[in-house]
Structure 1
Amino acid sequence: MNRKGIINKINNNSLYEYHIAEVPQRGEMLIFYLKEDLERNTKINFYEKAVDLIYSAADVYDVTLVEWSKCKAFSYYKKNGVVSIGLEDFDIFARRLPEKLADDFVEFTFSIKALRTKDLEEIINIRCFEDLINYVVELIYTKPVRTSGWYERYDYEE
């Protein structure tokens, strides 16, 4: 199955706890996020998972947490091999989704720069969002290659 087919199969199946969005203008970056109807009921410790993801060897670009009840948003991100935490402009999120203001839950998204089709074929078997995070944490990438633009592209270990 091709990349687009895998993404569509996951996004169109109600048994999966998450969605995937593809960002072609950013080197086919993928954004993973928990389905909205599950956000209020999850028992996942997103703060712990954010640290696991950003410190993993996987090609995770950033992890964003939006604390709706506290009107705060922040991201963990990697730049030049260094992990940083940045406070985001909460107004961007509030304007986009005003109905979530003052809700008592944390919205969690993470972006990964690239995945091999082989890895996506494994992900198609993972329905639980926490299991997906754990799978991504275990991915290994090697040989960073500097390219033009604001991101780095990696070759994969075969």
Structure 2
Amino acid sequence: MNRKDILNKINNNPLYEYHIAEVPQRGEMLLFYLKEDLERNTKINFYEKAVDLIYSTADIYDVTLVEWSKCRAFSYYKKNGVVSIGLEDFDIFARKAAEKIGRDIVEFTFSIKALKTKDLEAASNITCFEGLINYIMELIYTKLVQTCGWYDWYDYEE
């Protein structure tokens, strides 16, 4: 199965808890996010998963959380081998979905720089968002990543 067919399989099936979008201007980067109608009903601890995800693989570009009730957004990201947390401009998110402001919703998205087609195909058999996150965290990578002053080794496929 090719990448486009895999993405269509996931995005067009109502049983999947998430969507995947390709980011063409960044090569084969993929953006993963929980379906909007499930944002309020999920039991996922987004803050814990964000930290686990950003520290687990060297290929995650960023993890973004939007707290609509607090009108704030922040991202976990890696730059030059160092993991950081940055406050985002909430207005960017508010312009896209003003109806969410003040609602008790946490929006969770993450993007991954590259995912082999075979790994994407395996992920396409996982319907739950937390299961997908756990699968991606378990992929094998090898790269040095600096976290708070010390170095941890991660497996990374280049």
Q: Could you state the TM-score of these two structures normalised by the residue count of structure 2?
A: 0.89
Residue of structure 1 in register with 2:42 after alignment: 42
**How far did residue 58 of structure 1 move?**
4.5
Residue of structure 1 in register with 2:18 after alignment: 18
| Counterpart residue identity of residue 81, structure 2 | G
Rounded Cα–Cα distance in structure 2 between residues aligned with 1:138 and 1:22: 22
Rounded Cα–Cα distance in structure 1 between residues aligned with 2:74 and 2:19: 21
Residue of structure 1 in register with 2:51 after alignment: 51
Residue of structure 2 in register with 1:133 after alignment: 133
Q: CA RMSD in A?
A: 1.4
Q: Does 1:156 align with 2:157?
A: yes
**How far did residue 141 of structure 1 move?**
2.2
Please list the CA deviations of residues 28-83 of structure 1 after superposition, one character each: whole Å capped at 9, or x if unmatched.
10000000000010010000000000001251110000000000000000011100
Whether contact under 8 Å (2:58, 2:143) holds in the other structure is no
Residue of structure 1 in register with 2:27 after alignment: 27
Q: 1:136 to 1:58 in 2, by over 3 A?
A: farther
**How far did residue 156 of structure 1 move?**
2.3
Q: Could you state the TM-score of these two structures normalised by the residue count of structure 1?
A: 0.89
The alignment partner of 1:78 has SS state of strand
Residue of structure 2 in register with 1:86 after alignment: 86
Rounded Cα–Cα distance in structure 1 between residues aligned with 2:83 and 2:140: 17
Rounded Cα–Cα distance in structure 2 between residues aligned with 1:32 and 1:101: 22
**How far did residue 122 of structure 1 move?**
0.5
Whether contact under 8 Å (1:64, 1:110) holds in the other structure is yes
Q: 1:143 to 1:69 in 2, by over 3 A?
A: closer
- 4+ residue segments displaced more than 6 Å: none
Whether contact under 8 Å (2:74, 2:87) holds in the other structure is yes
Residue of structure 2 in register with 1:148 after alignment: none
Residue of structure 2 in register with 1:68 after alignment: 68
Residue of structure 1 in register with 2:111 after alignment: 111
Whether contact under 8 Å (1:23, 1:29) holds in the other structure is yes
Q: Percent identity at matched positions?
A: 83
Whether contact under 8 Å (1:58, 1:136) holds in the other structure is no
Whether contact under 8 Å (1:30, 1:112) holds in the other structure is yes
Q: 1:65 to 1:143 in 2, by over 3 A?
A: closer
**How far did residue 25 of structure 1 move?**
1.1
The alignment partner of 1:69 has SS state of coil
The alignment partner of 2:69 has SS state of helix
Please list the CA deviations of residues 69-111 of structure 1 after superposition, one character each: whole Å capped at 9, or x if unmatched.
0000000000111000000000000011101010101000000
